[in-house]
Amino acid sequence: MATVPQLEDLPELDGKRVLLRADFNVPLEDGSITDDLRIRAALPTIQWLVDHGAHVTACTHLGRPKGEPNPKYSVDPVRKRLAELAPGVELLDNLRFDPGEESNDPAFVKRLVDGFDAYVNDAFGASHRAHASIVGPPRHLPSAAGRLLAKEVEVLLGLRDQPRRPFVAVLGGAKVSDKLGVIDALLDRVDALIVGGGMCFTFLAAQGHSIGDSLCERDQIESCKRLLAQSKPIHLPSDVTALGPGDEVRQAGVDLPDGWKGLDIGPGSAAEFTDVILDAGTVFWNGPMGVFEDDRFAAGTRTVAQAVVDTKAFTVVGGGDSAAALAHFGMTDGVDWISTGGGASLELLELGDLPGLQALRESVAR
């Protein structure tokens, strides 16, 4: 991949106005930020810009307000936190209050860049979206990647192109259909794949197991059969923790009667997965092994998280739910890199490029 322009490649910034696209799409509960990682992650870039005399105006999307203003998705809590962490940095309204953001409307891009002298993209988590604020400004302004974006790309392309072996990917989460592309791409590069979470049941069904009332994407069974037939090992659970009639919770094998729903991998599987993770040279983990928010179904994800912390491997955790799981177990400090992007990290691993990176490389002012 051709390199993207860095902050140092921008023209003199003293007294200039810089538009900073950040991904401040933070989790909120009753209007309070529950994890400000994405705001803190942009601070090195902001600091660099301020040190070079720039006036910084940040912009972000928050949630999915679908092109119209909605107080539920107000960026006020972000603005407040940003004012504490980076006084003097302004924040525009939620970009997605305007339909032009998601449709990449040229008129919206023009309004966005009006009055600015340079553009910096530090929104790694949104750089897989070809939205106006991501791909538009580089057509009008001298543009560069911020420090966070640059680091994310370095780490994830490093995994993709020169992982220390064995390279093990651990995937969980609900849906196979969301991850089929990345599973295909990863199987070309990893030495082993571990599958847990809701999506493992479609694989188990493809192997002919009766999975009771567990999550299953019937239309993905053929794809799972195809994946299982290729040569790289795919480790699936051999036992699960299941919820049955009358809210009974039980450890079971992977053949479940009707009325029973697997909601976590079982202790035997967690131990097997641990062995594979401890022997790895590189681990990429995306997606919890079960419904970890419920203590009854947290053990599988906790054990796998502990293995990711304990292994000597270089460990990378893809954003979203797996990062939230690590935080839930207080293990955030035990991994080498926590990506701020969920979908973006998967797409970068799959394709080796993102619309936001492409736009920076094609920027007018290079």
Choice between 23 and 98, CB closer to ligand 3PG? 23
Q: How far is the CB of 165 from ligand 3PG (least distance, A)?
A: 29
Q: How far is the CB of 61 from ligand 3PG (least distance, A)?
A: 7
When CB distances to ligand 3PG are compared, the closest residue is 25
Choice between 126 and 240, CB closer to ligand 3PG? 126
Choice between 122 and 272, CB closer to ligand 3PG? 122
Q: For residue 163, what is the DSSP state?
A: P
Integer-rounded Cα radius of gyration of the chain: 22
Q: Are strands 249-253 and 239-243 parallel, antiparallel or unpaired?
A: antiparallel
Q: How far is the CB of 342 from ligand 3PG (least distance, A)?
A: 5
Instruction: Specify the residue for token string 């990176």.
Output: 357
Written in H, E and C, the secondary structure of 226-286 is HHHHCCCCEECCCEEEEECHHHCEEEEECCECCCCEEEEECHHHHHHHHHHHHCCCEEEEE
Chain centroid to CA 317: 8
Measured CA to CA in angstroms, residue 348 lies from 39, 46, 48, 220, 314 at distances of 21, 24, 26, 23, 18
Choice between 192 and 349, CB closer to ligand 3PG? 349
Q: How far is the CB of 351 from ligand 3PG (least distance, A)?
A: 16
State the catalytic residues. 38, 175, 320, 343
Which chain residues interact with ligand 3PG by CB under 6 A? 23, 25, 64, 125-126, 129, 342-343
Strands (DSSP E) contained in the chain are 17-21, 28-29, 32-33, 55-59, 90-91, 118-121, 143-145, 167-171, 192-195, 234-235, 239-243, 249-253, 261-265, 282-286, 314-317, 337-338
Determine the Cα–Cα distance for residues 240 and 302; give it in Å rounded to an integer: 14
- Residue 75 phi/psi, 5° resolution? -85, 10
Choice between 300 and 319, CB closer to ligand 3PG? 319
Q: How far is the CB of 118 from ligand 3PG (least distance, A)?
A: 23
